[in-house]
Amino acid sequence: MAVAAYRRLATLIEQPLHLGITEAGGLRSGTVKSSIGLGMLLMDGIGDTIRVSLAADPVEEIKVGFDMLKSLRLRAKGINFIACPSCSRQNFDVIGTMNALEERLEDIMTPLDVSVIGCVVNGPGEAKEVDLGLTGGSPANLVYIDGKPASKLSNDHLVDDLERLIRERVRLKEQAEQDVIARDQ
């Protein structure tokens, strides 16, 4: 109902529209409802600001909003993770690795695409499209930088090693941006 109302309103007025799905639900169900409803409108070019309302910690509302905009490629802020759901082919704990990386790296604001794929079936294809990719392999996992194989990592300290590599990529990206700004001045 909200989507239809916003679509109609967008044809009738010229003013900016603030989008929100009121009473969406708890963290999981509210995230799904808000993402679908707001995502449909935003992809149609409708909406100037968004509000995510969840029966959850208000900090989660902000995170969901930023992640939604990041997923739609409407705002670049922080790391855009691409990860597999994990299966019997995985060569490392994809879910545990993702949970740890998301928590450890949520302070990063620089846009960066990172893939974390547990096997060689899907990993190389995803890794070719991102800034930094990890493909599970045996005896070691393969790291891709800018789509090209770069190094190998064992499972021993995988999360620590990945965090270090990601932070280094962010540092290099930020330095390159600063160099461009300095050159253009």
pLDDT tens digit string along 47-71?
999 999 999 999 999 999 999 999 8
Contacts of 169 (CB under 8 A, 6+ apart): 112, 131, 132, 145
Residues 80 and 131 in one domain: yes
Distance CA 133, CA 15 (A): 42
Choose one of 59, 75, 91: the last residue of a domain.
Answer: 75
pTM, full prediction: 0.80
Q: What is the pLDDT of residue 93?
A: 93
Residues 91 and 160 in one domain: yes
Instruction: Return the sign of the alpha-carbon dihedral for residues 156, 159, 161, 162.
Output: positive
Lowest-confidence pick of 41-45, 83-87, 132-136: 83-87
| CATH number for 152 | 3.30.413.10
Q: Give the pLDDT band of residue 97 (cuts 50, 70, 90).
A: very high
Residues 71 and 87 in one domain: no
DSSP string, 22-48: TT--SHHHHHHHHHHHHHHHHHTT--S
Going from the C-alpha of 159 to that of each of 95, 96, 97, 134, 162, the distances in angstroms are 11, 9, 6, 11, 5
Choose one of 75, 96, 120: the last residue of a domain.
Answer: 75
Q: Give the pLDDT band of residue 116 (cuts 50, 70, 90).
A: very high
Residues 57 and 121 in one domain: no
Choose one of 75, 103, 121: the last residue of a domain.
Answer: 75
Q: What is the pLDDT of residue 82?
A: 93
Domain hosting residue 2, numbered range: 1-75
Q: What is the pLDDT of residue 72?
A: 92
Residues 98 and 150 in one domain: yes
Q: Does 23 have pLDDT greater than 80?
A: no
Percent of the chain having pLDDT more than 70? 100
Residues 111 and 20 in one domain: no
Residue 101 near residue 116, CB atoms below 8 Å: yes
Q: Give the pLDDT band of residue 83 (cuts 50, 70, 90).
A: very high
Residue 89 near residue 107, CB atoms below 8 Å: no
Helix pair angle (94-104, 158-184), 10° resolution: 40
Residues 99 and 9 in one domain: no
Q: What is the pLDDT of residue 54?
A: 94
10-26: average pLDDT? 91
Residues 179 and 120 in one domain: yes
Distance CA 170, CA 22 (A): 36
Q: Does 24 have pLDDT greater than 80?
A: no
Q: Which residue has the higher pLDDT, 60 or 88?
A: 60
Nearest to 82 by CA among 41, 124, 26, 42: 124
Mean pLDDT, all residues of the chain: 93
Q: What is the pLDDT of residue 138?
A: 85
Residues 69 and 87 in one domain: no
Residues 68 and 89 in one domain: no
Residues 32 and 107 in one domain: no
Q: Give the pLDDT band of residue 17 (cuts 50, 70, 90).
A: very high
3-31: average pLDDT? 92
Residues 89 and 139 in one domain: yes
Number of domains in the chain: 2
Query: Can you read off the two tokens belonging to residue 92?
Result: 């490392």
